[in-house]
Amino acid sequence: MSALAYTVTDSATMLRRNLKHQLRYPSVTVMLVAMPIVFLLLFVYVFGGQLGAGLGTHHAVHGDRTAYITYVVPGILILTVASAALGTALSVATDMTEGIIDRFRTMAIARGAVLTGHILGSLIQTVIGLAIVLGLALAIGYRPTAGPLGWLGAFGVLVLFSLALISLSAALGLAAKSVETASNTPMFLTLLPLLSSGFVPTSTMPGGLRQFAEYQPYTPVTQTVRGLLTGTPTGTHVIAAIAWSLGITAVSYLWAVRLYNRRRAADPK
Amino acid sequence: MITGSTTAAIVARGVGKSFGEHRVLDQVDLSVAEGTIFSLLGPNGAGKTTMVRILSTLIPADAGEIRVAGHDVRADAAGVRAAIGVTGQFSAVDNLLTGAENLRLMADLRHLGRRAGSRRVTELLERFDLSEAADKALATYSGGMRRRLDLAMTLVGNPRLIFLDEPTTGLDPRSRRTMWRIIDELIADGVTIFLTTQYLDEADRLADRIAVLDDGRIVAEGTPAELKRRIPGGHVSLQFSDPLELQRAAALLDVAPPQNGKLALQVPGDGTLASLRELLEQLDDASVEVEDLSIHTPDLDDVFFAVTGRSNVQPTSEEVLVR
């Protein structure tokens, strides 16, 4: 087999390992999906009527709350991606405390396979989380207008952005000195959706915050998904969303690989 | 011409390693012949684990030339890794998988293929007496089972050179004997073993050659018999109930009385019947009251004492167990 074939085989082996972990201990997955679900219900049923009225887009047949569901679900989907990414830092950091990692390092395993396994495992976890959250959103009245291409595009953008956040979280997990730190440092990933166009239009925000919200990566990603699913204008957001996702993924992945390789130089004894 | 020389599985010259200011290994030379078992013996903190980590490509040495299984550890780490198996001091199993899944994982990473992999997994489960627990979560495994699984995982790819870093530390006597039996079997198969231990009896029992590592330096090397031969003989330990009797005996036998206030005297001697009889007659003639007597034949503990100038801080494995 060629080096590339070994890389694929070993990464698949590591992916299977991570999926087994997730299946055996589903509590983490449940916890990570619960967060966006709570936010969805909270924002639709508690704040939704008021926020929907503020959007100023409702028509006679639809209530304010329905208008707000249409607005907020893309934001909730992005929040789902961010929440699931938290799990990556945790699983990577936990794994690094296990003796088996040292075993892997004494074996002729394709470079990067351990990390790739973690990242792809988290990606699958994220997609499952997205399906659950979207299912619930549809059940409570979310009505996207997208055709097959729109759905495909939205899925593609969400996957790309997931890869970005997961890679970043993996690097943060490797950089953390302890599992506790690893569960805290990526927390900001789940706060940023609130400071984007995810929950309210950025135009309603005060100066300074508004500029931050408009230029941080969550907004173009949210606007792109929103546009693809419900037909709002996307403009240059699509390009920005893809550029941000690819950029964050590349930088984070290289950083993560560096951290993973450097760890071997540190001898605990 | 046919020579009896064997190829070396490990050759290390001038290995040095420091962590910050702390020098862990200093000019370590060693050579392990193929098909033999080599034991690196030393107390905690001597640098044994660091040596294993360097030889198994986990960490780089600061200095020295090292070839493992014919590959340079620096230039061809992948070649080394493909040839070796490592069972570290700390359990290197995946705690979230079952025993069978752990072995399967190793089979996949060794690219054994589905059919051969399954066969190897079943075979190892049987050999290591883990068939019944194969599909159970590792949380239910005892320390001994975990250690056996650990070693089984190391053997999945049939490595010809195995590193065992303190494989029996913390095991109960039965598990220890099982581990020793497995090591014997590996040796019978012609596998080369690099074993570290802090237990003198274990090195004595298993190793073809022993190197004593103390504070990062090899202070003695040889076969167990050669090392023991360095010690002229054992001693007879005399116990007294009365300090005065001890003083008299010390004067009579011309032995220095103990400095630590203990009521025991160590008289050099090899413990043969003749020497013993002579000793007892001497004491009898002077009517010295001896409470108890024990014969101490030379063991690796004495070797350790002789080469390091201090007693081995680690008790033997059996002593640990009775605690």
Inform me whether the C-beta atom of residue A95 falls under 8 Å from chain B C-beta atoms: no
Query: What digits encode the pLDDT tens for the residues B60-112?
Result: 999 999 999 999 999 999 999 999 999 987 788 999 999 999 999 999 999 99
What is the 3-state secondary structure of B4-21? Answer: CCCCEEEEEEEEEEEECC
Confidence band (pLDDT; 50, 70, 90) for B6? low
Whole-angstrom distance, CA of residue B309 vs CA of residue B214: 11
Q: Is the pLDDT of residue B277 over 60?
A: yes
Does residue B133 or residue B300 have the better pLDDT? B133
**Minimal CA separation from A103 to chain B, in Å:** 6
Interface of B with A in 146-205 (CB under 8 A): 153, 157
Q: Is the pLDDT of residue A59 over 70?
A: no
Confidence band (pLDDT; 50, 70, 90) for B2? very low
**Minimal CA separation from B154 to chain A, in Å:** 9
Closest partner residue to B101 (CB to CB) among A9, A20, A105 is: A20
Within 8 A by CB and 6+ apart from B163, the residues are B52, B55, B56, B84, B85, B86, B87, B88, B193, B194
Question: What residues in B contact A108, CB-CB < 8 Å?
Answer: 78, 81-82
Query: Which pLDDT value is given to residue B232?
Result: 62
Confidence band (pLDDT; 50, 70, 90) for A50? confident
**What tokens does B81 get?**
């890794």
Predicted ipTM?
Answer: 0.85
Whole-angstrom distance, CA of residue B247 vs CA of residue B2: 63
Cβ pair A103:B86 closer than 8 A: yes
Domain boundaries, given as residue ranges, for chain A: 3-264
Confidence band (pLDDT; 50, 70, 90) for A60? very low
Q: Which of these ranges, A57-71, A238-252, B20-34, B179-193, has the smallest mean pLDDT?
A: A57-71
Confidence band (pLDDT; 50, 70, 90) for A63? confident
Q: Is the pLDDT of residue B256 over 90?
A: no
Three-state DSSP at B210 gives: strand
Q: Is the pLDDT of residue B308 over 80?
A: no
Query: Which pLDDT value is given to residue B46?
Result: 86
Query: Which pLDDT value is given to residue B11?
Result: 94
Q: Hey, how many other C-beta atoms are within 10 angstroms of the C-beta on A111? A: 15
Confidence band (pLDDT; 50, 70, 90) for A118? very high
Query: What digits encode the pLDDT tens for the residues A64-117?
Result: 888 899 999 999 999 999 999 999 999 999 998 888 888 998 999 988 899 999
Buried b (16+ CB within 10 A) or exposed e, A129-139: bbebbbebbee
Query: Which pLDDT value is given to residue A57?
Result: 64
Residue B219 burial (10 A CB sphere; 0-12, 13-18, 19+):
middle
Confidence band (pLDDT; 50, 70, 90) for B251? confident
In contact, B293 and B239? CB cutoff 8 Å? yes
Q: How far is CA A87 from CA A22, A27, A112, A254, in A?
A: 10, 11, 19, 20
Average pLDDT of chain A?
90
Whole-angstrom distance, CA of residue B54 vs CA of residue B44: 17
Q: Which of these ranges, A75-84, A132-141, B13-22, B307-316, has the smallest mean pLDDT?
A: B307-316
Q: Which residue of B has its CA nearest to A8?
A: B109
Whole-angstrom distance, CA of residue B303 vs CA of residue B307: 6
In contact, B82 and B156? CB cutoff 8 Å? no
Query: What digits encode the pLDDT tens for the residues B125-151?
Result: 999 989 999 999 898 998 889 989 999
pTM for this prediction: 0.81
Q: Is the pLDDT of residue A266 over 70?
A: no
Q: Which residue of B has its CA nearest to A98?
A: B92
Q: Which residue of B has its CA nearest to A262?
A: B59
Q: Note the Cα A3 to chain centre separation in Å.
A: 31
**What tokens does A56 get?**
């100023």
Please state the rounded mean pLDDT for residues A213-236: 92
Beta-strand relationship, B161-165 and B84-87: parallel
Whole-angstrom distance, CA of residue A79 vs CA of residue A23: 23
- Nearest to A93, CA basis, from A184, A18, A33, A170: A170
Cβ pair B49:A269 closer than 8 A: yes
Please state the rounded mean pLDDT for residues A160-186: 94
What is the 3-state secondary structure of chain A? Answer: CCHHHHHHHHHHHHHHHHHHHHHHCCHHHHHHHHHHHHHHHHHHHHCHHHHHHHHCCCCCCCCHHHHHHHHHHHHHHHHHHHHHHHHHHHHHHHHHCCHHHHHHHCCCCCCCHHHHHHHHHHHHHHHHHHHHHHHHHHHCCCCCCCCHHHHHHHHHHHHHHHHHHHHHHHHHHHHCCCHHHHHHHHHHHHHHHHHCCCCCCHHHCCCCHHHHHHHCCHHHHHHHHHHHHHCCCCCCHHHHHHHHHHHHHHHHHHHHHHHHHHHHHCCCC
Q: Is the pLDDT of residue A17 over 90?
A: yes
Closest partner residue to B59 (CB to CB) among A98, A100, A265 is: A265
Query: Which pLDDT value is given to residue B233?
Result: 61
Residue A158 burial (10 A CB sphere; 0-12, 13-18, 19+):
buried
Beta-strand relationship, B22-33 and B264-268: unpaired
* DSSP states along B73-108: TTTTHHHHHHHEEEE-SS--S-TTSBHHHHHHHHHH
Confidence band (pLDDT; 50, 70, 90) for B1? very low
Whole-angstrom distance, CA of residue A40 vs CA of residue A79: 10
Q: Is the pLDDT of residue B4 over 60?
A: no
Query: Which pLDDT value is given to residue A126?
Result: 96
